[in-house]
Amino acid sequence: MALLQVEDVSKRFGAIVVADHVNLSVGAGEALGIIGPNGAGKTSLFNLIAGRYTPDEGKIVFQDRDVTAASMRTRCHSGIARTFQIPQPFARMTVFENLMVAATAGARKSIASARRDCAEVLERTHLSAKANAQAGGLPLLDRKRLELARALATAPKLLLLDEVAGGLTEPECMALVETIQSVRESGVAIVWIEHVVNALMRVIDRLVVLHFGKLLTEGKPEAVMADAQVRQIYMGIEPT
């Protein structure tokens, strides 16, 4: 049984169609990649899954429960966590305080268990040495790590990653990939939107391409990347 099912979901803003009858399912523990040109509706799909947007049509089912009308908070409590394309920490709080907010408000943990779990998340995301640093002053890699750590502190079953690798150097990117792989190995399902395809390919089982709000194709990552239509739309490579 799928962990998440997006069933025939559509959403428009005036003339812009951000989701056009999208059908997608994610299995427990699966790692799914999403690519597509700028403005294809990738972040909007996360907004629909996480509850920031309500679909005009269709249904979102998480763990067999229809959550289409559920608030972001309820979805977070039930195990859906996301990162933002532009990191959104509480800039004046420390790294640890940011995680404590996520663990207590996002996962309704007691202070004592939140402390314990946040210390563990710090370790997993290689942020222990920065625990007391102000979030607003972190360099890019640590801001990305914190974005991931805040999502993990809510103890998700489904983790939505929105372009976490963008802007990093190659070694930084590989360090982040390692962390994401370890999250994945712990049984958390991942949906990862990413333009840095070589990073994505190291983690995912399945790849989906979005174009103008439509699901263009999905399948084994290598097969999807070799698809002539995908190459043309996504990479601008004309068919030979």
Residue 86 or 112: which CB sits closer to ligand ATP?
86
Q: Which region among 36-44, 107-115, 131-139, 198-206 touches ligand ATP (by CB under 6 A)?
A: 36-44
| Residue 132 binds to ligand ATP (criterion: CB under 6 A) | no
Residue type, 49: I
What x-and-dash track marks residues 65-94 binding ligand ATP by CB under 6 A? --------------------x---------
The answer to whether residue 228 forms part of the interface with ligand ATP (CB under 6 A) is no
What phi, psi does 239 have (nearest 5°)? -65, 145
Pairwise CA distance, residues 71 & 54, whole Å: 9
Give CA separation, 34 vs 10, 148, 175, 208, in Å: 17, 17, 21, 5
- Decide if 153 contacts 102 (C-beta within 8 A): yes
**What burial class does residue 63 get, using C-beta atoms within 10 Å of its C-beta: 0-12 exposed, 13-18 middle, 19+ buried?**
middle
- Please report how close the Cβ of residue 137 comes to ligand ATP at its closest, in angstroms: 26
- Least distance CB 172 / ligand ATP (angstroms): 20
In the complex, the smallest distance separating the C-beta of residue 216 from Mg ion, rounded to whole angstroms, is 16
Stretch that binds ligand ATP, among 23-31, 34-42, 115-123, 220-228 (CB under 6 A): 34-42
Q: Is the dihedral of CA 79, 120, 31, 225 positive or negative?
A: positive
Residues of this chain that interact with ligand ATP (CB under 6 A) are 13, 16, 18, 36, 38-44, 85
